[in-house]
A = this chain, B = another copy of it.
Amino acid sequence: MLRFGLFGAGRIGKMHADNLALNADAELVSVYDVVAEAARAVAEKHGARADATVDAVLSDDVDAVLIASSTDTHVDLITAAAEAGKAILCEKPIDLDIDRVNKCQADIADCKVPIQIAFNRRYDPTHRAVHDAVRAGEIGDVYQVIITSRDPELAPMSYLQVSGGLYRDMMIHDFDLARFLLGEEPVEVMAMGSVLVEPELETINDVDTAMVMMRTASGKQCHINCSRNAAYGYDQRLEVFGSNGMVQSHNRRATTVERYTKGATAQRDPLLYFFIDRYPEAYVDELNDFIDAVANKREPSVTFEDGRRALLLADAANESLRSGAVVRVAA
């Protein structure tokens, strides 16, 4: 039984708490949130205690922490939890500032606690099946990875202002998927970005529509396209093309219904609305995998370094966007 402390009782935190309740090997013991009332509600629902301080969460009866608080708190919580010897499952991104991430990595280097970054998409059954097929050699050598990632609706400006920008906030998932699927580090990044949806984004130097190309040392290529606003829904597709074939992960729908009427042929269900609806199994499976890693004293499948690498690529994309030139990233 792994006893959890939860940091953050917002939308994602609540979902993680519900998933913990489904896992027979885990127990939610303590909840902390800057909004005490939010912590209390989640604690009550799951028979846990609401703690008033971070230190109280990191007490002896907690084995692991799940960090689902705002991004700017991640590094401090990781450091504190690591120093307290807790296993750590932390939401992406680690931080928006690579220097802070590097410092955190150095600070906790001696702690030897298991740390997993919550790149949930790696756990999506379909994305994972693509990954597994590729790793099993079904399509031979990887040539190209194509990732399409479009949100169903623009987030509010209040969020966008602190998000860190499209590449570090949104495309960071896709940078991680790219590494997951390529099986090799991208060493070159080129980026393009535009403000086509929300002109106000110009004022904070961000974009809402973006493309990236990347290349590994051996020449494998990856393209990612993102939009903050796809009118038709949350579009999450990817494909890997290799010397012997191609594997695709298509969008998901609630049912397999197909409708035919005079004006509308082969109408299917809308795309599942957003990440909570699109990736439910992934959130469960990443938790299970983390619990299993801790229980079996093996390295988590998605490491701190994975989190750091994704941020390096996002930063490279930002730099390429500014400079108009390819940016080289260390392998």
Contacts and interface: CB of A to CB of B under 8 A. Distances in A.
A213 interface: yes
A269 B265 contact: yes
A148 interface: yes
B266 A266 contact: yes
Interface of A: 125-126, 129-130, 133, 138-141, 143-144, 146, 148, 150, 188, 190, 192, 194-197, 209-215, 219-221, 223, 225, 227, 229-233, 235, 241, 243-262, 264-271, 324-326
Nearest to A262: B231
A69 B271 CA distance: 40
Contacts of A220: 194, 196
Contacts of A271: 265
B261 A252 contact: no
A244 B257 CA distance: 16
A116 B252 CA distance: 32
B209 A143 contact: yes
Contact of A219 (B150, B194, B219): B194
Given A254-B125, A266-B268, A247 B221 contact: no
A209 B252 CA distance: 30
A220 B197 CA distance: 11
Contacts of A130: 257
Contacts of A209: 143-144, 219, 221
Given A146-B225, A252-B256, A257-B247, A262 B232 contact: yes
Given A245-B262, A325-B325, A257 B133 contact: yes
A270 to B, nearest CB: 5
Given A138-B259, A264-B264, 11 more contacts: A143-B194, A150-B241, A231-B262, A245-B261, A246-B259, A246-B260, A248-B257, A250-B258, A265-B270, A265-B271, A267-B267
Contacts of A143: 194, 196-197, 209, 227
A265 B245 CA distance: 9
Of A133, A144, A260, most B-chain CB atoms within 10 Å: A260
In the assembly, how many copies of this chain are there?
A: 4
A248 B255 contact: no
B260 A256 contact: no
Contact of A262 (B215, B244, B255, B261): B244
A327 to B, nearest CB: 9
A254 B138 CA distance: 19
B196 A231 contact: no
A262 B215 CA distance: 26
A125 B260 CA distance: 18
A282 B61 CA distance: 39
Contacts of A249: 255-257
B215 A232 contact: no
Contacts of A188: 192, 324
